A and B are shown apart, each in its own frame.
Chain A
């Protein structure tokens, strides 16, 4: 009698133990919603990786590399542009180019704090703060000679172009199989002078174009040479780019 009661009691205990285990196992079931999946309003997303993947990857590529638009995942570029310029570009866009304004007040979809998070995230993830500490980088904003100096700057730029760029972009800018033309009027119409300058300074190491200091010539481009090359390229802008019939008289005939 008492033995039977004993078995019954132990059976009850076993049952209790099993249910406790089952109940606590519920907590680790794969279907249990993960608090990380909680909904976040799009204007409250502050995670850099998420923001970059959602807003920048399309043109600038994954990790800010190997996209058609300028290279962002590059310590030189980030040190050269600096957070203030980056914030301005992301907020306001670059008129005339494919870079749209992302700030909500300017018709974009991001709040200022989110743009700050993007800029800070780029600097933190890809910036390598110490690397250019001792180096003097070319200033972000270039100078362009006045009207009197313009023709002179162009002539110098043409010469510098021969030294630093022509190997891949060809002497007249017509392009070689390696890199293609930089004097194409439609290209020039879609890039700002600042964009040209950035391309000359930072290059596209991810796509095989060296930065200003890494040319095969063996010496870095000087600030002046950078400015002159940009002036020379910009001089090839035409009034009506992209129209097949206005290209009959390209700039080449009006060279200084």
Chain B
């Protein structure tokens, strides 16, 4: 709201570099620089979840292998290794443990390979069924019917000193399995 009477714009010849126009450009440039400097930490903060600065998988004990009867499939749960104090119940992650025999296991993620709903094990029919879109899997995780594009996600596991360990810590999807 300047009160100075505005002068008609000069013809588009070379505008003279005045002190005012220089300072205007300098001001624009400095503000652009400042905005960029503000943006760096903001963007870095937001995408820090994507740029992995820490491992997202760790070995987690599921309990003594004696807890898992031979040739049976049982639900096991573990605490997410990368939890924070206010995670609440979301830090408890379930998985299906199938003891094939001896120290041979199959540990399946709870998430259906179709769209991630929790599959349920039915020992009587030897099937995993998904309540969302009807995906069904056999006891070894192969697709039995329905829309899943692949079998159940399987954890990497090891047996160490009588305990079953799995490598977990992230949610399995088609582009990144457990």
Residues of chain A having any CB pair with chain B under 8 Å: 98, 100, 107
Q: Can you show 8 pairs from A to B with CB atoms below 8 A apart?
A: A98-B124, A100-B123, A100-B124, A107-B69, A107-B72, A107-B73, A107-B74, A107-B123
Tell me the dominant secondary structure on chain B's binding face: loop
Cα-based distance from A98 to B123 in the complex (angstroms): 12
Extra inter-chain contacts (5) besides given A98-B124, A100-B124, A107-B72, CB under 8 Å: A100-B123, A107-B69, A107-B73, A107-B74, A107-B123
Task: Collect the chain B residues with CB atoms within 8 Å of residue A98's CB.
Answer: 124
Task: Sort chain B's interface into a size bin.
Answer: under 10
Smallest Cβ-Cβ distance to A108: which chain B residue: B123
Cα-based distance from A98 to B125 in the complex (angstroms): 11
Tell me the dominant secondary structure on chain A's binding face: loop
Cα-based distance from A100 to B123 in the complex (angstroms): 9
Task: Collect the chain B residues with CB atoms within 8 Å of residue A100's CB.
Answer: 123-124
Q: How many Å from the CB of A39 to the closest CB on chain B?
A: 13
Q: How many Å from the CB of A187 to the closest CB on chain B?
A: 19
Cα-based distance from A100 to B125 in the complex (angstroms): 11
Interface residues in B108-141 (C-beta closer than 8 Å to A): 123-124
Q: How many Å from the CB of A101 to the closest CB on chain B?
A: 9
Cα-based distance from A107 to B69 in the complex (angstroms): 9
Task: Collect the chain A residues with CB atoms within 8 Å of residue B72's CB.
Answer: 107
Cα-based distance from A98 to B72 in the complex (angstroms): 17
Q: How many Å from the CB of B45 to the closest CB on chain A?
A: 36
Cα-based distance from A55 to B124 in the complex (angstroms): 14
What 5 A-B pairs have minimum CB-CB distances, sorted nearest first?
Answer: A107-B123, A100-B124, A107-B72, A107-B74, A100-B123
Q: How many Å from the CB of A217 to the closest CB on chain B?
A: 39
Cα-based distance from A107 to B124 in the complex (angstroms): 10
Cα-based distance from A179 to B110 in the complex (angstroms): 46
Task: Collect the chain A residues with CB atoms within 8 Å of residue B69's CB.
Answer: 107
Task: Collect the chain A residues with CB atoms within 8 Å of residue B123's CB.
Answer: 100, 107
Q: How many Å from the CB of A172 to the closest CB on chain B?
A: 33
Task: Collect the chain A residues with CB atoms within 8 Å of residue B74's CB.
Answer: 107
